[in-house]
Amino acid sequence: MNLKGKTAIVTGGAMGIGLATSKRLVNEGCIVTIWDMNEVEMAKAKTELENLGGKIFTYQCDVTDKTRVAQLAEQARIDMDHVDILINNAGYVKGGDFLDQPVENWERTIDVNLNAVIFATHAVLPQMYERNSGHIVNISSAAGIIGVGGLSVYAASKWAIWGLTESLRFETWSHGKKGIKWTSIHPSYLTQGLFEGAKLNFLGNLIVPLVKNHDVIAKAIVNDALKKGKLVVRRPRSLRLSIILRGILSDFLFQKMLVMMGVHTSMHGFKGREVK
C-alpha cells in the first residue's frame, strides 16, 4: 500500500507503540485520528505530530464503550471522508497468577484486548466493504503464540486476536472483498512501557531478545504490515521458531523447552508502565 494521502485510526495512539506508529504514518503522508483515554498525553501527541507536519484528529475514547466507538467511527468518516487503515493497538495488562487478581481485572483485560477490537472493527469495517479497500492491523503478542505464566488471561485475549484476525480475513475473501487486508502483530517483551521488567532467562533472551523500543514495532506495522501486506508479523523474528518447534516437537518436549527458556517465570520481575 502506498500510504501517502491515506487515512488512519490508531487506538491507544497517545503513547507507546500507538504514538510511535502515528509518527511513522505522519511521515508517510497519512492523515491520522487518535483515540485514547489519556487526554493529557493525547494533547502532547497531537502537538508533536502536528509539528511533524501531520493532519491530526484526537478524541477521548474508552474503547470498551461500543456506543462511543461507533460514534467516533462515524466522526472519522466526517473528519477524513473515509478510513483506509484501522490499527487496533489499545491494550491492557495486569500481571500476576490467575488467582492473585480479582476477576474484575481479568474482565477488564478481555474488554480492552478483545472486545474493544471487535467493537472498533465492527464500526469501521462497513466503510471498507463499501469501497473494497482498507487494512486492519490488530496488535496481538508473543503471548498470543505461546502460553505465559503470570499472564494467563492476557495470553488468552491475545490468542483470540490472532484467531479473530485470521477468521475475518477468510470472511472478507469469501465475500470477494480481497481489497481489504488483515495483519496481526506479535511483539515479544519490550524493554519499556507496559511490560517493563518482564524478561526471559539468559537462554531465552539469546533466542528471543527483548524488543529495544516502541519504534521497532511501529516500523513493523508500517513497513511490513501496511506497505508490504504481510499477514502475520512477529518481533523479534525468532518468534517464528515457536511455531516451527511446536509442530516438530512433542507437546511434552515443547513445554520443557519453554521452561528451559524461562517463559514460566518471565513475569516475576514485571513492573509495567508507571500509572500517572
Tell me the catalytic residues. Answer: 154
Q: Which of 55, 53, 13, 64 is nearest to 34 (CA)?
A: 13
One-letter amino acid for residue 258 of the chain: L
The C-alpha cell 494521502 sits at 5
3-class SS at 138?
strand
Rg of the chain over Cα atoms, rounded to whole angstroms, equals 18
Q: Which of 40, 23, 86, 84 is nearest to 276 (CA)?
A: 40
Residue 209 DSSP one-character state: P
Residue 162 and residue 144: Cα distance in Å, rounded? Answer: 7
Residue 211 DSSP one-character state: B
Residue 253 and residue 207: Cα distance in Å, rounded? Answer: 17
Q: What residues are paired with 59 via a beta bridge?
A: 35
